[in-house]
Structure 1
Amino acid sequence: MIPEISSLEIAHLASGDTLSIQVYKFRGKNPGQKAYLQANLHGAEIVGNAVIYQLIELLSELDETQLDGEIWLVPACNPFGTNQRSHHFSSGRYNPYDGQDWNRIFWDYEKTEEDIAAFAKTQLDLEPDEIRKNFLDRILQKFQTLRQEIESPSGVPYSDRYRYVLQSLCLDADYVIDIHSSTNRSFDYLYCFQTREESAKYFLLNYGILLNEYDGDAFDEAFLKPWLALELELTKLEKPTFFDLESWTLELGSGMEMNADSVYRGVRGIKNYLVGKEMLKISGFPLVQTASQKVEFFRKSHIKKYYAPRGGLVRSRVLLGTIVKPGKLLYQLLVLNKTGEPPEILDVCAERGGIVFDLSTNQAVNQGEYVLGLLERAESGAANP
């Protein structure tokens, strides 16, 4: 297949240069669902670009009969963040102009004045496909009012213009995959919404964060949250309805590096997922291990972050993926002082048991700075005093 390639301008700069994103659109011979994939929303999180590159190669080698529907791919979806530097280091997590997290700026239809409960009451005699079309029409109509604000003489902040461009590509999609990495050091896992757990197995990742509380400002949330709200309202009206719409955030590896294993797992999982959703036809997929794949889910409230109790140098820190029990050593802190006393070693132990999934890149920390993250298992008790 030959993709349709287009560039969308997202900002005109004082220097006269422009920032743009490039979209690769693959369309199959037969109509079907739409999948939207993007990568590198945060500047340091570059692994997804390699994943999308390999997916572009894969799709380019397929015949159009092997795709039902269409797949849109956007690498380096945030050039502002991707190009942001401080000395040798790339962060690009926050907009330097207003300080906002790039993944906490998105438009959520549920937060408008539209009454989803009232809409649900008007749809009780309709089939799910009709309800879905009617609700999507409402979302798109409301979304178009944002364009009027953007084009007004007073204009809008850059973040508003940027989010409009990205969301205009995906609001009519069936499946959205936003590829991230840890800004620090991490293993591979995913974010999953409640009621969509069954599909998580296709990505062949062992761990997931189950989203049951969210504000709708993140990219994956802004897409799916209104639909989950509609499903809930229809259930309350004794018309339980499930829409085949899904949104995922894949967390693949660590910031500022192209980890080959993470790239491999990302490509394999996305291929497996798209075949499982009957969009792609690829020999050997879905992989045989999909049926037995178990994903261990942790609620977002079970993410425990450890911050340095004093300033110092981190040493003897546990490795990524280590399963720790309550009271076990997580790391030591070499604490320097200006009191005329020798340096001391401070042991920091786990409050509860769990899995070490994230480590800070910098091992020199001031008091209160992040050191590591733990996915706490609910059955793990607290450490003995």
Structure 2
Amino acid sequence: MTTQVTNPITQEDIQVGEIANGLPLTIPVYRIKGDGTGPKVYIQANMHGAEVQGNAVIYQLLEQLKHMHLTADITLVPYANPIGCNQKSGEFTLGRFDPITGTNWNRMYQDNSHLVKEFANKHLESDIETIKNEFRQTLISEVDKVLDGPAYAITTGKRIALNLQKLAHQADIVLDLHTGPISSKHLYCPEYAKPSASYFDIPNVLMIPNDFDGAMDEANFCPWWNLTEAFATLGKELPIAVEAFTVELGSQELIDLKEAKHDANSILSYLTYKEAFTDSQYQPKTMQRYVCELKDYIAFYAPMGGMVEYLAPLGSHIKSGEPIANILRMERYLSEQPLQSICLDQDAITILHFASASVNQGTELYKFFTNYELLT
């Protein structure tokens, strides 16, 4: 008879700032302890205010993790940006950009890759475990330097981001849960972690280079990637110790608990592959997965203003010359053709489109995978 596992879940509310009335700005952090033999895992959701599905996924993960035999220590952070999820305009949630500075909330993390060269030279003779432990602590200390520095030098968004980054730097696996405006599921995957992409139940994979652009996944994998390269130039082999992904779960302004269960199972499949459990039965679904380089992930901007009927289904493979949208311009009804058919001039996979039917000329109407191939 199998003994029922019940793992204790602890909660800590971490202060990440203060709001205008002087009260603390806090986020909930849930932790589940494993037996200490597996990886450390960090999962966060809702950095962008309208991207709420990740909170439902964290709920479904907690519901399952508390009954599993864990080797991994797992930290889960819903509501990662408490300001963003409360940024409302009428019935809509904004929360993609800091309303004070205009900066994308997910572009405020700190690049610590500058630490790599000196660290590699100092630890050329160190063993791999020492290198991992020391470099992890170096990254955390670098974040602490800013958080412990003059309070006047840090914006609201930067303070939130650094507190989250400090948590993430303690992990071997980092998953940042997002959604698009109106979107299909897709995965941002660093080039070295390509084999791992097959363990998520996500059909479209975007391969990203080792270029830091301010996002959570980059803040975590870029320093480790760069450290491996630095040691390689010194003649020492070091496996890349951290995998970090941005997981795009679908569309914003939507909670779907049934779909969240599927998304949680997808993450558990990947974590099974990473040996986070001792007895997991989670396996990736059999599906065709497609991969696209970041340079071939193109935006299609509205060639004219008007009211848009989106024709290209999300996740669909469209052919060159196939209509992707109709744009209605009623001001032209009596003078010329009011309905304009819009096409794409190359084969593509439809990943996401703008949330509104009302667009200005130059609005980012769609994003497409082009020059894609099967993930192998």
TM-score (norm 2): 0.91
C-alpha contact (below 8 Å) 1:253/1:259 kept by paired residues: no
Q: How does 1:154-165 map to 2 (within 5 A)?
A: 154=152, 156-165=154-163
- Residue 169 of structure 1 and its aligned partner are, at CA, apart by 1.1
State whether residues 13 and 29 of structure 2, in contact with CA within 8 Å, keep that contact through their aligned partners in structure 1. Answer: yes
Going from structure 1 to structure 2, the CA distance change for 1:346 and 1:163 (only over 3 Å counts) comes to same
Residues 12/118 of structure 1: CA separation in 2 closer, same or farther (3 Å cut): closer
- Aligned residues of 1:214 and 1:221 also touching (Cα < 8 A): yes
- Aligned partners of 1:180, 1:88: CA distance in 2, in Å? 20
**Distance apart, 1:180 and its partner CA:** 0.4
The 1:80/1:121 distance shift into structure 2, 3 A limit, reads same
| 1:40 Cα deviation after fit | 0.5
Counterpart code for 1:375: F
Residue 209 of structure 1 aligns to a residue in which SS?
A: strand
Shift in Å, 1:347: 2.0
Q: Where does 1:91-102 land on structure 2 (aligned, <5 Å)?
A: 91-102=94-105
Match of 1:337, SS?
A: helix
1:104 maps to 2:107: yes
Q: Contact (CA 8 Å) 2:132, 2:241: kept in 1 or not? A: no
Task: Indicate the residue corresponding to 2:235 in structure 1.
Answer: 238
Partner secondary structure for residue 32 of structure 1: coil
State which drifts further: 367-376 or 252-261. Answer: 252-261
Instruction: Tell me the SS of whatever aligns to 1:191.
Output: strand
Q: CA deviation at 1:340?
A: 6.1
Q: CA deviation at 1:32?
A: 3.2
Measure, in 1, the Cα distance between the counterparts of 2:40 and 2:270: 13
- How far off is 1:61 after superposition? 2.9
Match of 2:3 in 1: none
Shift of the 328–86 alpha-carbon distance from structure 1 to 2, 3 Å rule, reads: same
Deviation, 1:344, is 2.1
Query: Residue type of the partner of 1:341?
Result: S
Which one-letter code corresponds to 1:87 in the other structure?
Answer: G
- 8 A Cα contact 1:336 1:343, kept in partner: no
Aligned pairs for 1:124-135 within 5 A: 124-135=124-135
Task: Judge conservation of contact 2:292–2:370 (CA < 8 Å) in 1.
Answer: yes
Alignment partners' CA distance in 2, 1:215 and 1:30? 31
The residue identity in structure 2 corresponding to 1:143 is V
**Alignment partner for residue 199 of structure 1, among 193, 196, 199?**
196
Q: What's the CA shift for 1:190?
A: 0.6
Distance 1:259 1:306 in 2: 28
Greater Cα offset, 212-221 or 44-53: 212-221
Q: Using a 3 Å threshold, how does the CA distance of structure 1 residues 283 and 120 change in structure 2: closer, same or farther?
A: closer
1:208 matched to 2:211: no
Quick one: which of 63, 75, 80 aligns to 2:78? 75
The Cα shift of 1:106 comes to: 0.2
Q: Residue in 2 aligned with 1:8?
A: 14
Pick which of 310-319 and 362-371 moved more: 310-319
| Aligned residue pair count | 367
CA 1:10–1:126 in structure 2 vs 1: closer, same or farther (change >3 Å)?
closer
**Matching residue of 1:173:** 171
Secondary structure of residue in 1 paired with 2:239: coil
Kindly indicate whether residue 146 of structure 2 is the aligned counterpart of residue 146 of structure 1: yes
Once the two structures are TM-superposed, the CA of residue 124 in structure 1 deviates from its matched residue by: 3.2
| 8 Å contact kept, 2:57–2:257 | no
Check if 1:25 corresponds to 2:31.
yes
> In structure 2, do the counterparts of structure 1 residues 3 and 261 end up closer, same or farther at CA, with 3 Å as the change threshold?
closer
Deviates more, 1:222-231 or 1:132-141: 132-141
Partner of 2:4: none
User: How far, CA to CA, are the matches of 1:215 and 1:75 in structure 2?
Assistant: 24
Q: Distance in 1 between matches of 2:14 and 2:31?
A: 13
Q: Which structure 2 residues correspond to residues 293-372 of structure 1 after superposition, within 5 A? A: 295-315=289-309, 317-337=311-331, 341-372=335-366
2:33/2:74 contact within 8 Å kept: yes
Q: Check conservation: 2:53, 2:255, Cα contact below 8 A.
A: yes
TM-score (norm 1): 0.89
Alpha-carbon distance, 1:69 to partner: 3.2
* SS class of match (2:169): coil
Distance 1:370-1:147 versus aligned 2 partners, 3 A rule: closer
- Give the gaps of 5 or more residues in structure 1: 380-385
CA contact (8 A) 2:32 2:75 kept: yes
Q: Percent identity?
A: 29
Residue pair 1:216, 1:225 contacting (<8 A) in 2 also: no
Q: Which amino acid aligns with 2:254?
A: E
How far apart, in 1, do the equivalents of 2:234 and 2:177 lie?
36
**Displacement of 1:16 after TM fit?**
4.3
Q: Summarize deviations over 1:169-208 as a string: whole Å, max 9, x none.
A: 11121100100001x1111111100111111111121211
Following TM superposition, where does structure 1 have runs of at least 4 consecutive aligned residues deviating by more than 4 angstroms?
none
Aligned to 1:117: 117
Distance 1:58 1:71 in 2: 12
Cα distance in 2 for residues equivalent to 1:294 and 1:337: 44
